[in-house]
Amino acid sequence: MPLRFFIKQWLMPPGVLFLLLLAAWWWRRRCPRLAAACFTLGLGGLWLMSLPLTVEQVARTLETEPALALEGWAGLASRADAIVVLGAGRERGDPAWGGLDQPTYVALERMRYAAQLAKASGLPVLTSGGLHYGTPPSEAQLMADRLEADFAVKVSWKEEASRTTWENAEFSAKVLQPLGIKRVVVVTQAWHMQRSRWSFERAGFEVVPAPVGFLGRDHARPFAGLLPETRAMWQSGQLLNEAAGLVGYRLFY
């Protein structure tokens, strides 16, 4: 796992862009034209990734599922039998919480949305997410604890073995389908929903998408989103990773 993570970080932006800049420096005297090309690609890629406008445009190609209508929340019970919330990592040992691990803010966004859907519809909730680099507690357990403590929503099931979106679906099926549950509301980021729905449908579920955290909209950034922002860099990385995941899933699954 650590080796795979190390390789992935350098093959995906921004890692590969830094490698291009390093290559440009290395070849600056022996092969100046190649060095110039590497420099242009590396610096240009980093600049594009830092622009909110890039985030908005790329997100629009990934966010293909519309948001649930507010007036339709109560009617979800007629369309599904359970709500599945996908994990999104965790923050290690936050001193503000006595050194206990906490869900990331992305996971909290999903949990907050799932909690409101559960209260409106009365549907039971499953949290899905395994160990983070082999260290307990699982993401599913962390989310279940915070859903109950912060949102007064008791989780009915926890899927605690998955490490990928495909495994979220596969292992959730092992928990829910023996109980006769094959219609699920899947809660995840809007840009992650396309791959999530694909995975859950192949695991035998009928999916009601419940995307949250849309990035492909006008965020009213000054200068039309053409000024670099550190947050945009992180968001661009997430979107590029998702695009690669979509291609990879269709090739290998």
- Shared domain for 26 and 122, answered yes or no, is no
Please report the DSSP string for 129-161 in residue order. Answer: ---BTTBSSPHHHHHHHHHHHHH----SEEE--
d(CA 110, CA 190): 10
What is the reported pLDDT for 154? 97
- Shared domain for 207 and 98, answered yes or no, is yes
Q: Are 195 and 12 spatial neighbours (Cβ–Cβ below 8 Å)? A: no
Cα(first)–Cα(last) distance of the chain, in Å?
20
d(CA 132, CA 104): 12
- Shared domain for 34 and 129, answered yes or no, is no
- Shared domain for 118 and 185, answered yes or no, is yes
- Domain total for the chain? 2
User: What single-letter amino acid sits at 112?
Assistant: R
pTM: 0.93
Q: Is residue 126 part of a domain?
A: yes
What is the reported pLDDT for 1? 58
Q: Is residue 117 part of a domain?
A: yes
Instruction: Please tell me what DSSP assigns to residue 28.
Output: T
- Positions of the chain with pLDDT under 50: none
